[in-house]
Chains A and B, each alone.
Chain A
Amino acid sequence: MKALFRPVAVAALLAAALGVAPAFAAKDVTFAVASTFTTTDPYDANDTLSQAMAKSFYEGLFGFDKDMKMIPVLAESYEASKDGLTYTIKLKKGIKFHDGTDFRANAVKANFDRVTNPDNKLKRYGLYNNIGKTEVVDDYTARITLKSPFSAFVNQLAHPSGVMISPTALVKYGKDIAFNPVGTGPFKFVEWKATDYLKVAKFDDYWKKGYPKVDALTWKPVIDNNTRAAVMQTGEAQFTYPVPPEMAEVLKAKPDLVVVAAPSIIERYLSMNTQQKPFSDIRVRQAINYAINKDAVAKVAFGGYATPADRIVPAGVEYSVVTGVWPYDIAKAKQLLTEAGYPNGFEAELWSAYNHTIAQKVTQVLQQQLQQVGIKTKITLLEAGQRVEKVESWQDPATAPVRLYYVGWSSSTGEADWALRPLLASEAFPPKLFNTAYYKSDRVDNDIKQALLTTDKAEKAKLYKSAQETIYKDAPWAPLVTEKLLSAHNKKLSGVYTMPDGSFNFTDIDLK
């Protein structure tokens, strides 16, 4: 308690000494997060955390609310043409950037022209290169023309990378915009000390009157799990994510802290290389699905903070359908293996895409369970560089060394396309995208393709349902669990939510 008030008291004393005595105590909030930020420019970021942090000062045309429902933010409304090629977007009026520039359609053009120009070498180029051109219709109307119809386009605009950067600042800072972010968001950028913290302060001319309700926000990367738990207890931070499952009980016991387990769209699965023996046999893949007790994985490896996966595209993603949890049935698994010609099982490599403790536990549980039906696995936890070399950038699908592969995914556009196409379409074999099962189904390919061409929601739902059911039957994966996101916050803090994709929503942030 004491430690919580001390910095405030010191700040107040200092302020008094300098003659700027505030009318009330400043409301400063600190977030303790798990890794350092790579950049403040969402168009050049590939990690969820950097993009979540950038929401302090940036907003997009569209966005997601705390339940991952798409909402217009800087846009007023949009209209898609019949052929699905042009999107006309009406903008809200009276919005200012931190540098005083008015938010108008020229900002939309400046931002999309910037990311679609390969000379700028931005990391999100791939996500936006379906944009053919962006035009200014009038001050508050912009028109975007796509190269080919892409019905998930508005979701793509809601992606956390699709923000509006002040066109004046883009000209002024050029490549250095990442060190001088200027947006329309509730907070303006103050200071970024790379390993230590990033500070933002309330923007007084924010367009949503009465917001934000706190004066300053400090993003503090605290790498170590135990240390992150410690700073919550000392009051050096008021919010933290992620909380490791083993620390959840400790933090729950503290009277001034609240631990929240929020649903996520992060699905963990085991992919099987369907082009290679013995996994090319569907009976082997089914056997593996029967042999894994998903409840045990959720309980042992995730400390109960996960639910067994009952679908291919996790709940919360648009057009996801329940296909059911594979039942845990060792006898059935053994029978299928015998039918496939492996009565005594076989040996296989089991790789994990991560080398953290949770992945270690998951692979050990899997190893132990597959052992029950005679499948002996050798575990390798791949470090990021190895993962890239051996899995993600392997050039020839025919010789890919990956067999059983434990990995996860969250669809950052909140839509089924980005949950299926990169992982299960035949165009997505590495090194292009992440179809690590090397799964190829004409039906699924066709469903995914057709769904992108239509803007009719019912039609899309039908196509995605067909795709998911086919995948479930073909079993290129053993879906394991959907994670829950554990965060902790001080009881005085309200209005901060962990979103299903691991990002944050802090529109309503307030400190008592």
Chain B
Amino acid sequence: MLQYLAKRLLGLIPTLLLVGILVFMLVHLLPGDPARLAAGPDATPETVALVRKDLGLDLPLPQQFLRFVKGAVTGDFGRSMRTKRPVSSEIASRFAPTFWLTVWAMAWSVTIGMAIGIASAVWRNRWPDRVGMTFAVSGISFPAFALGMVLMQIFAVKLAWLPAVGADSWRHYILPSLTLGAAVAAIMARFTRSSFVDILQEDFIRTARAKGLGEPTVVAKHGLRNALIPVVTMMGLQFGFLLGGSIVVEVVFNWPGMGRLLIDAVDMRDYPVIQALVLLFSLEFILINLVVDVLYGVINPTIRYR
């Protein structure tokens, strides 16, 4: 097991290097000159040249790449071209709000989503299934920005129960996490249902029922464990996506997170920030995948790691 983990972690290095090269090239291929953008609408060519020098964009591309790799290895991603703060502190100050929002959104949406999914599978084609799946389909099809605005209009503007923007207290988390989690809950419900329906038709479930086990035990012990593998995979993927910072939800609720940082960075062609963010997102995905793989073994002990 430990050996497996070490192997996987070592495997990180080439992947990240590849991502690094790709993102560096892609970012420099984007149209638009960051020096011109940073210098602003009424700048003269001399000013643009000064800004270009200041941002280190006057160096040849290979040299810029070397600088980027050298920095990245030591954890120094340079300074943001837009705000001149170190990229690491730009990202650090946004990571926590996005992370906690993701955790809260995942917590409620996975719980509710799985509950709906299980109920729907157990009472397939009966009313709990119909109601549950209606919710799920609406959850997937209702766009997040619309849901966010409706929630804000009702709970912040009309009823004045909750604040509309900011991330200072637990009350600030309620509306954005509801909005962010709605689609995930719906996806989880549908996923759990289909996975469960398949499992409930398996031979070992019939055997369990035949040997006289009560239905709750059959569902919880024999069904759940086996149905969980694809569900956990999906959960990992969703978690990874949300960690990237949902641009829509962060804009609507003015959340000081990474989604907004990414838009600002792309708008201003803030190369160092874009590069660091993309690297961070890939690292998050790889780590989450690793956790998911380990969870497989916990759920199903017959899975072996080598």
Tell yes or no: B71 within 8 A of A by CB. Answer: no
Contacts A38-B82, A222-B254, A234-B157 given; does A195 touch B44 at CB 8 Å: no
Contacts A123-B51, A195-B261, A393-B33 given; does A178 touch B84 at CB 8 Å: yes
Tell yes or no: B225 within 8 A of A by CB. Answer: no
> Pick the contact of B160 from A2, A175, A433 — CB < 8 Å?
A2
Please state if A126 and B149 are interface contacts (CB–CB under 8 Å). Answer: no
Closest to B32 in A: A385
Which chain B residues in 244-265 approach chain A with CB under 8 Å?
Answer: 251-254, 256-257, 260-261, 264
A-B contact pairs, 9 of them (CB 8 A): A121-B51, A125-B46, A126-B43, A196-B166, A223-B254, A223-B260, A230-B152, A230-B157, A236-B166
Q: Which of B1-9, B34-42, B286-294 forms part of the interface with chain A?
A: B34-42
Please state if A385 and B82 are interface contacts (CB–CB under 8 Å). Answer: no
Could you say which residues of chain A place their CB within 8 Å of the CB of B40? 45-47, 123
The proximity string for A residues 39-76 relative to B, scoring 1 for CB distances below 8 Å and 0 otherwise, is 10000011100000000000000000000000000000
Tell yes or no: B267 within 8 A of A by CB. Answer: yes
Closest to B81 in A: A38
- How distant is the Cα of A121 from the Cα of B253 in the complex, in angstroms? 36
Contacts A231-B165, A389-B33 given; does A433 touch B44 at CB 8 Å: yes
Could you say which residues of chain A place their CB within 8 Å of the CB of B252? 224, 226-227
Tell yes or no: A491 within 8 A of B by CB. Answer: no
Tell yes or no: A193 within 8 A of B by CB. Answer: yes
Q: How many whole Å from A195's CB to the nearest CB in chain B?
A: 4
Closest to B43 in A: A126
Please state if B83 and A385 are interface contacts (CB–CB under 8 Å). Answer: no
Could you say which residues of chain A place their CB within 8 Å of the CB of B41? 46, 434
Please state if A432 and B44 are interface contacts (CB–CB under 8 Å). Answer: yes
Q: Which of B42, B85, B253, B267 has the most CB of A within 10 A?
A: B42
- How distant is the Cα of A192 from the Cα of B254 in the complex, in angstroms? 16
Tell yes or no: A88 within 8 A of B by CB. Answer: no
- How distant is the Cα of A491 from the Cα of B141 in the complex, in angstroms? 40
Could you say which residues of chain B place their CB within 8 Å of the CB of A39? 83-84
Tell yes or no: A483 within 8 A of B by CB. Answer: no
Please state if A121 and B254 are interface contacts (CB–CB under 8 Å). Answer: no
How many positions in chain A have a CB within 8 Å of any CB in the partner chain? 53
Tell yes or no: A194 within 8 A of B by CB. Answer: yes
Please state if B47 and A223 are interface contacts (CB–CB under 8 Å). Answer: no
Tell yes or no: B25 within 8 A of A by CB. Answer: no
Please state if A234 and B163 are interface contacts (CB–CB under 8 Å). Answer: yes
- How distant is the Cα of A47 from the Cα of B54 in the complex, in angstroms? 18
Tell yes or no: A468 within 8 A of B by CB. Answer: no
Extra inter-chain contacts (13) besides given A36-B264, A230-B157, A234-B164, CB under 8 Å = A36-B260, A38-B82, A123-B47, A125-B46, A126-B47, A193-B93, A194-B256, A220-B165, A231-B165, A389-B32, A389-B33, A393-B36, A431-B45
- How distant is the Cα of A45 from the Cα of B82 in the complex, in angstroms? 10
Which B residues are within 8 Å of any A CB, using their own CB? 30-33, 36-48, 50-51, 53-54, 82-85, 90, 93-94, 149, 152-153, 156-157, 160, 163-167, 251-254, 256-257, 260-261, 264, 267-269
Tell yes or no: A324 within 8 A of B by CB. Answer: no
Tell yes or no: A18 within 8 A of B by CB. Answer: no
Tell yes or no: A388 within 8 A of B by CB. Answer: yes
Q: What number of residue pairs across chains A and B have CB atoms under 8 A from each other?
A: 138
- How distant is the Cα of A198 from the Cα of B164 in the complex, in angstroms? 18
> Pick the contact of A195 from B48, B53, B94 — CB < 8 Å?
B94
Q: How many whole Å from A177's CB to the nearest CB in chain B?
A: 11
Please state if A234 and B156 are interface contacts (CB–CB under 8 Å). Answer: yes
Q: How many whole Å from A381's CB to the nearest CB in chain B?
A: 14
- How distant is the Cα of A220 from the Cα of B255 in the complex, in angstroms? 12
The proximity string for A residues 194-229 relative to B, scoring 1 for CB distances below 8 Å and 0 otherwise, is 111000000000000000000000001111101100
Please state if B32 and A386 are interface contacts (CB–CB under 8 Å). Answer: yes
Could you say which residues of chain A place their CB within 8 Å of the CB of B31? 385-386, 389-390
> Pick the contact of B39 from A46, A195, A384 — CB < 8 Å?
A46
- How distant is the Cα of A187 from the Cα of B131 in the complex, in angstroms? 57
Closest to A432 in B: B45
Contacts A125-B46, A234-B157 given; does A227 touch B164 at CB 8 Å: yes
Could you say which residues of chain B place their CB within 8 Å of the CB of A124? 47
Please state if B256 and A193 are interface contacts (CB–CB under 8 Å). Answer: yes
- How distant is the Cα of A47 from the Cα of B268 in the complex, in angstroms? 13
Closest to A408 in B: B41
Q: How many whole Å from B249's CB to the nearest CB in chain A?
A: 11
Could you say which residues of chain B place their CB within 8 Å of the CB of A220? 165, 254
Please state if A123 and B38 are interface contacts (CB–CB under 8 Å). Answer: yes
> Pick the contact of B46 from A129, A196, A224, A418 — CB < 8 Å?
A129
Please state if A126 and B44 are interface contacts (CB–CB under 8 Å). Answer: yes
- How distant is the Cα of A343 from the Cα of B269 in the complex, in angstroms? 44
The list of the 5 closest CB pairs from A to B, nearest first, reads A385-B32, A46-B40, A126-B44, A121-B54, A126-B47
- How distant is the Cα of A387 from the Cα of B40 in the complex, in angstroms? 12
Tell yes or no: A233 within 8 A of B by CB. Answer: yes
Q: How many whole Å from B282's CB to the nearest CB in chain A?
A: 23
- How distant is the Cα of A387 from the Cα of B268 in the complex, in angstroms? 12
- How distant is the Cα of A141 from the Cα of B81 in the complex, in angstroms? 37
Q: Which of B157, B167, B253, B269 has the most CB of A within 10 A?
A: B157
Please state if B42 and A38 are interface contacts (CB–CB under 8 Å). Answer: no
Contacts A39-B83, A224-B252 given; does A195 touch B37 at CB 8 Å: no
Which chain A residues in 236-291 approach chain B with CB under 8 Å?
Answer: 236
Closest to A229 in B: B157
Could you say which residues of chain B place their CB within 8 Å of the CB of A46? 38-43
- How distant is the Cα of A196 from the Cα of B250 in the complex, in angstroms? 11
Could you say which residues of chain A place their CB within 8 Å of the CB of B267? 384
Please state if B33 and A234 are interface contacts (CB–CB under 8 Å). Answer: no
Could you say which residues of chain A place their CB within 8 Å of the CB of B157? 230, 233-234
Please state if B32 and A125 are interface contacts (CB–CB under 8 Å). Answer: no
Please state if B251 and A223 are interface contacts (CB–CB under 8 Å). Answer: yes
Q: How many whole Å from B180's CB to the nearest CB in chain A?
A: 15
Q: How many whole Å from A465's CB to the nearest CB in chain B?
A: 24
- How distant is the Cα of A226 from the Cα of B166 in the complex, in angstroms? 15
Please state if B160 and A195 are interface contacts (CB–CB under 8 Å). Answer: no
